[in-house]
Amino acid sequence: MAVPKKRTGKSAQAKRRANWKATIPATTKCSNCGAVVLTHTVCPECGSYKGKVVSIKNPNYKEETKPEAKVEEKPKAKRTRKPKTEEAKNTEVKETKAEEVKAETVSEETETKTEE
């Protein structure tokens, strides 16, 4: 990222900011009630926009309900399991044997402790 070599002076800063001016927001008259309204916004007095009732403030307001779009569900793809290779089968057998041996040693240790 670029970094300035020297500090900006006050006069240069002021010259650059000289064109920062506040502008008056554009307003129009409401076609329904005649109130002053910001352009492209709903009238806060009567709740209409471009001659149509769009806010609850208006007594003629009716809520439009749109029918929900139906979404078709795609059938789920069936997953097929890959056949286990010989190596995978051998490692599973080794793991289960190791667990059995651990269980036997733990049970033997508990038996010797109870005898003492």
Any idea which of 22-36, 40-54, 100-114 has the lowest mean pLDDT? 100-114
Any idea which of 24-33, 40-49, 102-111 has the lowest mean pLDDT? 102-111
Query: What does DSSP say about strands 36-38 and 52-53: parallel, antiparallel, or unpaired?
Result: unpaired
Question: pLDDT for 64-98, tens place per residue?
Answer: 656 666 667 777 777 777 666 666 666 666 677 67
pLDDT score of 38 = 93
Please give, one letter per residue, the 3-state secondary structure of 12-70.
Answer: HHHHHHCCCCCCCCCEEECCCCCCEEECCCCCCCCCEECCEECCCCCCCCCCCCCCCCC
pLDDT at 6 exceeding the cut of 70:
yes
pTM, whole model, 2 decimals?
0.37
pLDDT score of 31 = 86
Question: pLDDT for 19-36, tens place per residue?
Answer: 888 889 999 998 888 899
pLDDT score of 18 = 92
Any idea which of 10-14, 15-19, 93-97 has the lowest mean pLDDT? 93-97
